Amino acid sequence: MLSERDLSDLKNRGIRVEDVYQQVEYFKHGFPWMDLKESAVIGDGILKLSESEVVQWANQFDLLKSNLKILKMVPASGAATRMFKSLFEHISEGKLNKESELFLSRLDEFAFAKTLLSLCNSQDSNEIISTLLESTGLDYGSLPKGLLAFHSYEDGFRTPLEEHLVEAAQYASDGKIARLHLTVSPEHRARFEKLVDVLLPTWKLKFGINYEVQFSEQKPATDTVAVQLDNELFREKDGSILFRPAGHGALLENLNELQADLIFIKNIDNVVPDAKRESTIRYKKAIGGLLLSITEKIKGYLLRLNGAIEEAELAEILAFAHSHLGIKISKQFNRLGLEEKTDWLKTILHRPTRICGVVKNMGEPGGGPFWCADGHGNFALQLVESAQVDMENEIQKGIFSNSTHFNPVDLVCATRDFQGNKFNLMGFRDMSTGFITEKTKDGRKLKAQELPGLWNGAMAHWNTIFVEVPLETFNPVKTVTDLLRPAHQND
């Protein structure tokens, strides 16, 4: 039962009552499992570009970019707490662990080492780590990754924010303006904005372009309720409903507000120094150029579908949907009449389109590319996380475990239709693909719910193309010692 106070809280947050009821139903009954048909592989769901094709599509991108509004979106709100998990354990337990020992033995190789040691009065390991993590020192334990010193240069260090500014100029630019959009948490927004103000004059001068840097925050209306283990609403001590941020899927609202012809999406921690970036730039341009080619074909086909058309032309469009839009149709399609086939193909083509770079699976935890059933006898390409798969079903578990490729979050999106109008992206998500996790609050257990993931269920009904990209373009920093990997050393 919702009280008058509950209804007022919902109204103030912009949350609909029916959404709360739906969330509680998902808590009670769970989300349906994804129905995996098979993993996408090179030649069947994943494109592998030849060297000449990479050059061709990158050149195409450079040729067309001056007439396009290009933007790069970077989710950057997450705190770096998990990055320092082992160092926090070192402090709490008062002794070395495997990672803290490695961290201390190679301390001078970190970009923040000089600043850190200047704040320490001794070489004591506890003092060094405490100074790194706590608010009386560098406060890295509570800052977002985007504001940490990642890479060393002769003139100092760069944060991921600065590396993304550099990247934006190198591919998210029309040659005159580089556009970068970061989603940040409210408590850190001012620090991001201050750092951008400091950095922009240097990079404007160096690249000879202007920058448009935007920030947005996760909207309160995307928060979800939590429940107790008996599925009753979890309430704070004052009786109010506990609302929780709904994961990166909530950022679909932010993406939906962006106005651009092409939108690149990449995680904040997946950056490398200048010396290691060439492959990233080449492939970003290549998948951008390929997407422009695909959307141009979509435009041409939709114009043909809106006029008189013959069966042979429908067969051509259907083959294109299979090879370039990640659609395998059911046999039922062949039983349809000409008009019904035409309407079906219009629906398929008239959707947002994305290219997802995927890398060879090296055992990283996370999702991958699969052919999935859509409930109507068709199969479509999807990015699927392990939490969406029934691992007690040996067949489904086997398909997921044998995936050859992994999702590094390397996307380029076309969110305007063939007439140049922006799609309402909220209409192309699958709300039945959320996540439920167990958490604690004030010592009490609760169940939390995340909205469909931004690149998973939130884009479930997009046209999807998977392209293999080189492994060297994927260099996430999950723990602090990942910064010791060669990819993050500027040598």
The CATH number of whichever domain residue 362 belongs to comes to 3.90.550.10
Q: How many CB atoms lie within 10 A of CB 23?
A: 22
On whether both 340 and 463 belong to a single domain, the answer is: yes
pLDDT, position 383:
95
pLDDT, position 377:
82
On whether both 181 and 74 belong to a single domain, the answer is: yes
Give a yes or no: residue 52 inside a domain: yes
Give a yes or no: residue 485 inside a domain: no
On whether both 65 and 90 belong to a single domain, the answer is: no
At residue 46, φ and ψ (nearest 5 deg) are: -125, 125
On whether both 48 and 23 belong to a single domain, the answer is: yes
Give a yes or no: residue 197 inside a domain: yes
Residue 359 vs residues 34, 48, 231, 362, 404: alpha-carbon distances, Å = 22, 11, 39, 8, 9
Give a yes or no: residue 481 inside a domain: no
Give a yes or no: residue 152 inside a domain: no
Give a yes or no: residue 252 inside a domain: yes
pLDDT, position 36:
95
Structural domain count of the chain: 2
- Tell me which DSSP letter residue 144 carries: B
Q: Give residue 101's domain range.
A: 82-133
On whether both 87 and 183 belong to a single domain, the answer is: no
pLDDT, position 332:
86
Residues 324-356, buried b or exposed e (16+ Cβ, 10 A)? bbbbbbeeeeeeeeeeebbebbeebbebbbbbb
pLDDT, position 300:
95
pLDDT, position 364:
73
Contacts of 50 (CB under 8 A, 6+ apart): none
Is the sign of the CA dihedral 234, 237, 238, 243 positive or negative?
negative
Helix or strand (DSSP H, E) at 463: strand 463-468
Give a yes or no: residue 150 inside a domain: no
pLDDT, position 264:
98
Residues paired with residue 422 on neighbouring β-strands, in sequence order: 416
pLDDT, position 444:
92
Total-model pTM: 0.94
On whether both 393 and 440 belong to a single domain, the answer is: yes
On whether both 423 and 403 belong to a single domain, the answer is: yes
On whether both 329 and 388 belong to a single domain, the answer is: yes
pLDDT, position 331:
84
On whether both 198 and 288 belong to a single domain, the answer is: yes
Among 222, 192, 215, which Cα is nearest to 14's? 222
pLDDT, position 94:
86
* Positions of the chain with pLDDT lower than 70, given as ranges: 365
On whether both 118 and 46 belong to a single domain, the answer is: no
On whether both 67 and 95 belong to a single domain, the answer is: no
Give a yes or no: residue 307 inside a domain: yes
On whether both 39 and 92 belong to a single domain, the answer is: no
pLDDT, position 78:
80
